[in-house]
Amino acid sequence: MEYSIRNCEITDLPKLLALLQKHAEFEKAEFSPEGKEEGLKNALFGENPKLFCLVVATEETIVGYASYTFDFSTWNAQTFLYMDCLFLEEETRGFGIGEILIEKLKEIGTQNNCVNIQWQTPEFNTRAIKFYNRMGAKGKDKVRFTLTL
């Protein structure tokens, strides 16, 4: 499979939105595309980006993405890279693309003096958990809460 990994471009947003929908469905989460393209455009391409995104591009389209932000750890008193999402189309899994995305994020984290990369995945995503363990990541049992504002 021929592909490249590059930064998300504005022209990728419609396809990225479709991937977000698939990712939400996979995680059994509600998702409405309403207003998301404009929100992502502002977050990714505004004057001071709040979100960063790598995409997996084939000649025709994008087939995956990894989005991330930079945050600060009180316990470490240092910046860390937070991987918000990593998703690949089903037919692109098993080719080592996820590992390459993680390696790219490690490079970005190192370049930005991050102490570590943090992320989460649902407990039922056993395939991802095995993959992350194989990459040397360590999991923690926690419950994530969301408080709607």
Give the pTM.
0.89
Give the pairing type, strands 78-88 and 62-73: antiparallel
Determine the pLDDT at residue 143. 73
Determine the pLDDT at residue 99. 95
The model's confidence at residue 125, banded by pLDDT at 50, 70 and 90, is confident
Structure tokens at 68: 């991330």
Question: What average pLDDT does range 30-43 have in this prediction?
Answer: 94
Determine the pLDDT at residue 147. 63
What share of the chain has pLDDT > 90, as a percent?
74
Instruction: Determine contact, residues 69/82, Cβ cutoff 8 Å.
Output: yes
Q: What is the pLDDT of residues 61-116, one digit of tens each?
A: 999 999 999 999 999 999 999 999 999 999 999 999 999 999 999 999 999 999 99
